[in-house]
Amino acid sequence: MDNLQIENNILETIKTAFKVEGKVVREKRVEITAHKQLISSILLFAKNQHNYIHLNHITCVDWIEDGEFEINYIIWSPTTKNTLIIKTRISRENAQMENIDNIWDQANTYEREMREMYGIEFPGLIGEHEFILEDWDEMPPMRRDFDTLEYATKTFYQRPGREDAKDVREELTKQSGEEIPEFAKKYSREK
């Protein structure tokens, strides 16, 4: 795999420097999984030593089943045109993550958004608490346990006139007298 030489090199460098797991996803994509305490040192190392000077993206994925948030830092190097994805997981309870807006100014925007949308705290983060929402007093909305449909139905006016709608499967079972057992209902058509 000669064409992945740059990718393998950077992966090896970071692996040896920080003892972390990682893989080459495909051409121009290297992925690293690290503990949250290592994140800022890896980012600094990549930025200063390997010219990953462009912060592409910071994203958060809610793995509610595992009780964890996954935070991905995506950085890009203009010299090799390579993208490095650094993944870390933090606990959902009292979620806290290191603030990196001293490394990249624009990280501030991402972190403010994550603070608002997921309730992740970034100690030392400056900027107003309200970024997108206004007077929001429910749980941070991007958390997976926040039910947006339920909230919208409750909060906003539902225009009447559609109450006569019928569910096809229900209507058919009514016609035939079929009784779908409870354990099978999870396989019925999504509504």
Binding mask 13-42 for other proteins (x = CB under 8 A): -------------x-xx-------------
Evaluate the CA torsion angle 55, 59, 46, 127 in order and state its sign. positive
Binding mask 78-107 for other proteins (x = CB under 8 A): x--x-x-x------------------xxx-
Q: Write the DSSP assignment of 87-154 as a string of letters.
A: EEEEESTT-B----TTT-TTHHHHHHHHHHHH--B-TT--S-S-SS-SS--SS-TTSTT--HHHHHHH
State yes or no: residue 66 binds other proteins (CB under 8 A): no
State yes or no: residue 145 binds other proteins (CB under 8 A): no
Nearer to other proteins among residue 93 and residue 162 (C-beta): 162
Q: Which residues contact 70 (CB under 8 A, 6 or more apart)?
A: 60, 61, 63, 87, 88, 89
State yes or no: residue 109 binds other proteins (CB under 8 A): yes
* Dist. CA 115–CA 129, nearest whole Å: 8
Sheet holding 82-91, edge to edge: 21-26, 29-33, 82-91, 68-77, 54-63
Nearer to other proteins among residue 94 and residue 155 (C-beta): 155
Nearer to other proteins among residue 96 and residue 188 (C-beta): 188
Of 55, 86, 95, 97, the residue at the interface with other proteins (CB under 8 A) is 55
Neighbours of 189 (CB within 10 A): 8
Binding mask 152-191 for other proteins (x = CB under 8 A): xx-xxxxxxxx-xxxxxx-xxx-xxxx-xx-xxx-xxxxx
Compute the least distance from the CB of residue 94 to other proteins, in Å.
22
State yes or no: residue 3 binds other proteins (CB under 8 A): no
Nearer to other proteins among residue 14 and residue 118 (C-beta): 118
